[in-house]
Amino acid sequence: MSAIEDRLKQFLQSRECSPGYQSLTADASTREYFRIGWKGGAAVACVYPEPFDPAEQNYVDVTRLFLDAHLPVAEIYDVDGGLGVIVLEDLGDRILRNVLNEETEEEDSRLLREAISLIARIQTATNRADELHSIASKLKFDSEKLLWELNFFKEHYFGTYKKQPLSTEDDDALSAEFAELANDLESFASVLCHRDFHAANLMLDKQNKMRIIDHQDARIGSPAYDLVSLLLDRITELPSPEWLADKRRYFLDVRRTLGLPKIDEGEFAYEFRLQTLQRCLKAAGTFSYQSSMRGKTYFVPFILPMFRIVYRSGSNLDRFPNLLRILEREIANG
C-alpha cells in the first residue's frame, strides 16, 4: 500500500466512512484521486503528496473564488490538511476530451463553444479575485514565470527527452528570444486565467452540465492564454487558420456580451499567436518531462504537432528567427 493510500484509509476511518475506494486516473498530476462512499452517496477524495495548511491551499482558495463567481466547479465537502485530503463533489466520469470523440460534429461544435464561453466567464471574475484577496489574484504570468516555463521546455525537451543539449550558440540565441517573448506577453497579463484549461480538465456531470476541474493554478494572464490551451492542447493535426480565426471571433463576441472590454480582432490575433508560442512550447516541455521522467510515453505523439503550430504562428508573426530555425530542424528530424 502506498503512503497516499495509507493516509486515505486513515481519513476514511476518522470520518467513519466505508473503507472501500476506487482509484481514478490523475493524468499528469502529482495528486491521486479516489472515489469513496460519502454520506449515503459518492464523493471524490483528492490526496496530495504532502500535508498542507487549508488556509493557504490553492485549490481550496480558488474553489471558493470560482463558486463565489458562479463558475461550475465541484463543491468541497471536507478538508483534512494534516492528512493531505480534500473531499469533492463527484462529477462522474465523462471527461470532455473523451466525449468529443463520441459525438456528432454539430454536438462537438456546441460543446466547444460552451467551453470557450467558460473562459470568458472566468475572466469576468478578475475583479472578484482581487476583492476576495484570492491567491489567484496575487499570482501572475509575468516575464519571470513565462520565462521559467520556456526554459523548462528547453531543459526537458533537448536535455531530458532527446539527451542532446543545445550548442552554446543556439542556447544563447534561444534564451534571448525567449526573454523577448516573455516580456511581450507580460504586457497582456490582465485577466483571471484557469491556467490549464483544456478538454481533459472539463467534465460533463450527471445532468450533462459542463464543469471545470483542476483549477488550483489559476492566476492573472493574457486573455488569450486559456483559449490557446483549449484549442491547441494535445493536437495531432493542425487546425486551419480559418477555424482558429472563427473561434477567436466567437470568444471576443462572448466577452463583449458579458460586458468585458472590447479587444480589436487583429490585435487579439497577434496576442493569440504570441501566446501560442509560449503555451505550446511549455506543453512540449511538459510532454517531454512526463514521458522521460514519469514514464507517461502517451504524451510523445503530441510533441511534434506542438512544434508545427509554434512554427506556423512564429512565421505569421515574422519574428523569432532562431526559434523558427531550431524548430524547423527538429520537425525535419522528427
Vertex 79 angle, CA 76 and 84, to 5°: 125
- Residue 157 Cα distances to 233, 238, 304, angstroms: 17, 21, 11
- Residue 245 Cα distances to 30, 58, 168, angstroms: 35, 34, 38
Of the pLDDT bands very low, low, confident and very high (cuts 50, 70, 90), residue 116 is very high
The percentage of residues in the chain with a pLDDT greater than 90, rounded to a whole number, is 96
Q: Which grid coordinates are listed for 59?
A: 485549490
Confidence (pLDDT) at 1: 58
User: Does residue 101 carry a pLDDT above 90?
Assistant: no
Q: What are 144-185's pLDDT values in tens digits? A: 999 999 999 999 999 999 999 999 999 999 999 999 999 999
Tell me whether residue 288 is exposed, middle or buried, using C-beta atoms within 10 angstroms of its C-beta: 0 to 12, 13 to 18, 19 or more.
Answer: buried
Global pTM reads: 0.95
Confidence (pLDDT) at 129: 98
- Over residues 228-243, mean pLDDT: 97
Short-list 284, 283, 256, 259, CA closest to 268: 256
Q: CA 29, 34, 35, 40 torsion: positive or negative? A: negative
- Residue 316 Cα distances to 199, 241, 310, 311, angstroms: 26, 11, 10, 9
Rg (CA), the chain: 20
Tell me whether residue 236 is exposed, middle or buried, using C-beta atoms within 10 angstroms of its C-beta: 0 to 12, 13 to 18, 19 or more.
Answer: exposed
Q: Which grid coordinates are listed for 90?
A: 463527484
Sequential DSSP letters for 133-193: T-HHHH-B--HHHHHHHHHHHIIIIIIIIS--PPPHHHHHHHHHHHHHHHHHHHTT--EEE
- Over residues 67-79, mean pLDDT: 98
Cβ atoms within 10 A of the Cβ of 33, count?
18
3-state secondary structure of 87: strand
Q: Sheet containing 202-204: which strands, arranged edge to edge?
A: 94-95, 202-204, 210-212
User: Does residue 94 carry a pLDDT above 60?
Assistant: yes
To which residue does cell 483549449 refer?
A: 230
- Over residues 94-104, mean pLDDT: 92
User: Does residue 28 carry a pLDDT above 70?
Assistant: no
Q: Which grid coordinates are listed for 40?
A: 449515503
Give the strand pairing for 94-95 and 76-80: unpaired
Query: What structural domains and CATH numbers belong to the chain?
Result: 3-89 (3.30.200.20), 95-333 (3.90.1200.10)
Mean pLDDT of the chain: 96
Q: CA 208, 214, 216, 221 torsion: positive or negative? A: negative
